[in-house]
A = this chain, B = another copy of it.
Amino acid sequence: MEKTDILVIGGSAAGIVAATTSKAFHKNKKVILVRKEEKVLVPCGIPYIFGSLDSSDQNVIPDAALSNAGVELKINEAVSLDKDKKICRFADGEEIAFEKAVIATGSVPAVHAWLVGADLGNVFTVAKDKNYLDQFSKKLADFKKIVVLGGGFIGIEVADELNKIGKDVTIVEMLPHVLSLAFDPELACEAQELLKARGICVRSNSKVKELSGAKQVEKVVLSDGETIDADAVILATGYKPCVSLAAEAGLQINKMGFIEVNEYMHTSHKDIFAVGDCAEKHGFITRALKGTMLASAACAEARIAGMNLYKLSTLRSFSGNISIFCTCIGDTAFGAAGVTETLANERGFNICCGTFEGIDKHPGTLPGTHKQVVKLIVDDESGVILGGEVLGGCTTGELINMIGLMIQNRMTVSSLLTFQIGTQPLLTAPPTAYPLIKAAEAVVMQSC
């Protein structure tokens, strides 16, 4: 039987980072990563294979990252895990004994049982599976009218890409606006209006009753009886964690269906860790269990597992998911981190919010200047920043990361008032109206 020091099961973002971090921090240990897929796609790049990229081949994570780091790669499917003997068994009968294991089995599209007609032809999911997506891509030319169920990030990104290549796209969303879980109504509404302005039909506040058709899907039937014609339907209704390997091994699974882990990404067994979409998540601010799946958060968890395999360090623990999102609709970007105003109120926080609207270059007469909006959600008593939302141009991703950093460091709006920044005409807002500082000022002014 083959033996390894460290076995990583799963080869998407979390698995890769768990393996390379494990090797980097434990140079003398042998690290094997086993995954079932021949090729792995950049997960968040998947919506872009339909428009901005030529094909899924341009969206493959190169295996060189593993070999360069000294990680051994095996393509095989893990079918059972004996946690007492510390042996993993694979589909072809092979077995690997390990000292430490990291489970990074990820997630698959959630196809809800109540959705009648989900098994019709031309109903697709956004599975993280290259072969499946390639088959979908091949058929794309046959479809004109495409209905996307779900107005979350994956839904709107896929919709925007399909719109770019000339499809008639409709998004159906149950909630009042797209992106409602990540953004407060102001920004979610702006995202929705932008999608419409780009020619995408958005049906929010709409619940789907069923999909209908003979063999292939033909119509999406809404619960109010209205129907939408569809040559194809894409289910962008979330993902569910892949935990059967862990569950069958007797590891604890939480009530939301994720593998239980602590701050070091330890499962209920001291030599087995879990990271990424399959691992339990808590809100950094709310402390409540949550099910948000993000490649970026998965990588943070994976780094923490990799660093704690043989010796725990309180310095390097995971304090809950800040949930930092960003996306683009056309050339307008949207970012969110921490809690929204809506969620903070629901959970009973005593908060104060401040918003500033400015521009992302200066003077605003420079070509390509984009509107920039920053909203901060702040604990009223302490001034600690609990959340933030950004609308802007190409710098939105790093602006929301800066807010993420503030949340993680429990910074206060008061400290933001003395924040030193760099500004440059082509790269940032003006120094007199830098949006993070002005939004903090807007919060502080309310108690002046």
Residues on A close to B: CB < 8 A? 13, 16-17, 20, 24-25, 27, 42, 44-45, 47-48, 52-53, 58-61, 65, 284, 294-300, 303-304, 307, 315-319, 321-322, 324-328, 333, 335, 337, 362-363, 365-367, 393-402, 404-406, 408-409, 411, 414-415, 417-428, 430-434, 437, 441, 445, 448
**B432 near A405: Cβ-Cβ < 8 Å:** no
**A428 near B365: Cβ-Cβ < 8 Å:** no
**B408 near A405: Cβ-Cβ < 8 Å:** no
CA A93 – CA B425 in complex, angstroms?
38
CA A18 – CA B356 in complex, angstroms?
19
Please pick, from B17, B324, B420, B423, the residue contacting A432 in the complex, using a CB distance under 8 A: B17
* This protein's copies in its complex: 2
**B400 near A401: Cβ-Cβ < 8 Å:** no
**A394 near B397: Cβ-Cβ < 8 Å:** no
Residues of B within 8 A of A16 (CB): 432
**A418 near B316: Cβ-Cβ < 8 Å:** yes
8 residue pairs from A and B, CB less than 8 Å apart = A17-B431, A44-B423, A300-B419, A326-B422, A328-B424, A328-B427, A397-B427, A405-B419
Residues of B within 8 A of A426 (CB): 48, 52, 328, 333, 394
Q: Determine the residue in chain B with the shortest Cβ distance to A20.
A: B432
Beyond A13-B431, A24-B445, whether A44 also contacts B425 by CB under 8 A is yes
Residues of B within 8 A of A425 (CB): 42, 44-45, 47-48
Interface centre among A24, A44, A328, A362 (most CB of B within 10 A): A44
| Shortest distance from the beta carbon of A29 to any chain B beta carbon, whole Å | 12
**B405 near A422: Cβ-Cβ < 8 Å:** no
**A422 near B402: Cβ-Cβ < 8 Å:** no
CA A284 – CA B397 in complex, angstroms?
27
Beyond A53-B366, A398-B402, A437-B303, whether A423 also contacts B296 by CB under 8 A is yes
**B397 near A423: Cβ-Cβ < 8 Å:** yes
**A24 near B296: Cβ-Cβ < 8 Å:** no
**B398 near A408: Cβ-Cβ < 8 Å:** no
Q: Determine the residue in chain B with the shortest Cβ distance to A441.
A: B24
Residues of B within 8 A of A419 (CB): 300, 405, 408
Residues of B within 8 A of A445 (CB): 24
Residues of B within 8 A of A395 (CB): 394-395, 397-398
Q: Determine the residue in chain B with the shortest Cβ distance to A326.
A: B424
